[in-house]
A and B are shown apart, each in its own frame.
Chain A
Amino acid sequence: MVEKKDKLIIAGREFTSRLMVGTGKYESFKQMVTAIEKSGAEIVTVAVRRVNISDRSKESLLDHIDLQKYTLLPNTAGCYTADDAIRTCRLAREAGLSDFVKLEVLGDDKTLFPNNEELLKAAQTLVREGFTVLPYTSDDPIVCRKLQDIGCAAVMPLGAPIGSGLGIRNPYNIRIILETVTVPVIVDAGVGTASDAAIAMELGCDGVLMNTAIAGAKDPVAMAEAMNMAVRAGRLAYLAGRIPKKLYATASSPLEGVIE
């Protein structure tokens, strides 16, 4: 089986699953835990936020995530400057004792598109400080190349705006990114349903990261399973090598021996 030996390697760490999932927007911790399990993901993203010191009734997210089983990928969601993102990453490392970070520096709150100038600045500092940086970026091959040159462990171009569910809007850019960089390319954001995830993988991407597509589905647990299958199916189809597209038909049955 070609799939069995096929591992995702990020900064020297080996992962079997190519699907990464978020932990936001679930109805309950129980639903989140089941959905993550069904997704087969080994890397889960989390956000860093202030503890509500006046209301201590809230449980800690980490009480529900088995850290023997999952690698935490803290994000810098909500950061609009390099300084804020760097500060958040330092806090995340202290809280989680791991140096993996999903670096996002946003440009505005309507599109949640990355501010690539600030992103590059933050990436530079964080790589220097020893972080394993996985940046959420525009689907721009030049920015991706710059992120790789800085020393990011992967690049994570968006397929479409965060939470939009529009799918992979520019597969050609993703293909160019795949030819431009040698670090893993993980499509982060935009996936709406299983076929979107499969398309990303069929393009040759190394992984897909999603949150809303699963947590926002009518049945998040079933969608998590669908995404698990889609990512594996897409990867296998990529490795198997698809047939070229042609305008006209080619018969599947022999042309000889047709009755007359």
Chain B
Amino acid sequence: MTNDFAVELDNVGKRFLRHADRRSTLKERIVRGRARNTQDFWAVRNVNVEIPKGSVYGLIGHNGSGKSTLLKLITGIYRPTEGSITTDGRVAALIELGAGFHPDMTGRENIRLNGSILGLSKVEIESAMETIIDFSGLREFIDDPVKHYSSGMYVRLGFSVAVHMKPDVLLVDEVLAVGDEEFQRKCFDHLYTLRREGRTIVVVSHGLGQLEGLCDEVAWLDHGTVQEIGPATEVIGSYLQRVNTEEAKANAEVASDRDDTTMRAGSGAIRSMEARLLDGQGDPLNHSETGATFGIEVTVRCHEEVLGPNVRFAFQHETGPLVTMMSNHRQGVDFGHIEGERTIAAFLTDNPLLPGRYRVHIDIFDHTGSVLIDNWDDALEFTVRSPRGEIGQGFVELPYTYEIK
């Protein structure tokens, strides 16, 4: 292999026997003989991926598309059924944090044990010990048995050990969704540090916004085969497009269900039927860009005449926080009497939202603002990208100026 790649997957395939067909006792094995091969399935197949040294590589795909299997193949927990895998340097996996912890041992003892399992020498462990303890933020409890730790503390300790073993290749599987805000941020900062140090990182995540900011390249897996490989923004874009079309297909099937909006809260005098993303000119849009005006449009059906409703759009970031809420009452806009089918649009001037995934919840109140008419959670989900390709810290970009004196 050339030395430009940290990991090279050459036509890799992994076949599993279905669990139901595994001979787990000798008696079964003897009585029923060898397993028939009809129940095999390929978790991944024909995968050709080259991960350049010093890059951050993302793996995306729906659940069961083979992402985690691929990571396990790279770490060596699984052997490929066909093809070959070459890795250059020490590989560490953040697949299951704290997997090697023994509940009766103290945090410090577990750091030693986990470090040894991950391949560190005694000297390396002892020299990293203080950094690990500081990073985990668990100094106070480090000499208590880990069985008294909360699950969050457990994971923090596991992450701290794994990232401080100075791996050449770090595999990260969905573990960034753990720990509190502060620790998550710390983890991300650390991943950026590792990246700056020229280490290779492979990330599996459903947080597409996070991936888009972090990754240089992304491979999109679908049912165990590679659909597309390329720059993060492009691949994530086409992945989202696929997800959206499939969702639209599924939605079309349940459209009648949605029409029957009896499950929703509110009086029901108005029901929101369909929500769309628009650009500044009112044309449909797939994703929005930071700095570019865009709109949200909702089609509502009035079952009776309604006086001056308040139609609100709430924006929620993928990590949970409510970012902002748009309300026509707050803007002093009165729709007057409305009836029949109407479309209502709100435009966000020079979109201040930073790159990420956002969900829109729509609710409608009556003119007094006290009676709920309709409430539609998750009406719409969309991605905000940055035209400049970088990711911001936080959710919004506020107007600001700098001065130097």
**Does B associate with A?**
no
